[in-house]
Amino acid sequence: MKNIENSEPKTGFSKIFAPFTVCKAEIAHLLWILVVLVFGLFNFLVALTQGHFDMINSAFADGTLYVFSISICAPFIFELLEPILVDKKNQKLSHFVTFIVISVIVDVVWVFILACIWGGVYRGDFWCQLIFGVLSIVYAFYMYCITKMEKYLPYTKEYDDAPYLEQEKNAMHELEQNAENTTSISEDGKEVIV
């Protein structure tokens, strides 16, 4: 395993790709893409192998790739939030909160955009569906990797915001304690009793 104890925290552009570091730990996670493509687009594969190109054209005309894209992205809204909700209930510190919150917000917007395009004039546009389909697969895989980041902390620890959140929580607690122990405030030689 990679030793990252003394490494500086990553920021900026490199941090965006942090969830993909789970693939360094376990390359088998890439099989997720294959499974999603094969079973998610099974109707296209069957029509293609049987030579029913009219069915493929019909599926594109109906905007099937938009529906597929929504289907693979929407479940991650809860999948990402669930550990935070459970951790909060158990009064446990959550990991990678920044990644999770930003990804959930982007996912909600992404699913909304896909639904609007599906209901609009680009519903049957082949290239538009293909572009949004590929982007959705990549983004869904990104969110899948986020769900695995805690499992591979030795590889992803440098991107974890849990230590910072713990430090902030302790600072807030200390500030509350100081506020409770304060009996007076003085400014410019004038004292106000609290």
The predicted-structure confidence for 68-105, as pLDDT tens digits, reads as follows: 999 999 999 999 999 888 887 887 777 888 888 999 99
CA nearest neighbour of 23 among 134, 135, 155, 162: 155
Residue 18's pLDDT is 86
Residue 98's pLDDT is 83
CA dist 37 and 30 (Å) reads 12
Residue pair 143/103 in contact (Cβ under 8 Å)? The answer is: yes
pTM > 0.85? no
**Distances from the Cα of 129 to the Cαs of 35, 45, 47, 92, 108, in angstroms?**
20, 17, 18, 41, 18
Residue 34's pLDDT is 93
Residue 6's pLDDT is 39
Residue 14's pLDDT is 76
**Distances from the Cα of 145 to the Cαs of 16, 62, 109, 140, 186, in angstroms?**
12, 30, 19, 9, 53
Q: Look up residue 8 and give its DSSP letter.
A: P
Residue 184's pLDDT is 62
* Six token digits for residue 37: 């493509």
Write out residues in the chain with pLDDT < 50, as ranges. Answer: 1-8
Residue pair 63/124 in contact (Cβ under 8 Å)? The answer is: yes
Q: How many CB atoms lie within 10 A of CB 103?
A: 22
CA dist 39 and 45 (Å) reads 9
Residue pair 66/93 in contact (Cβ under 8 Å)? The answer is: no
Residue pair 74/108 in contact (Cβ under 8 Å)? The answer is: no
CA dist 186 and 193 (Å) reads 9
Residue 3's pLDDT is 42
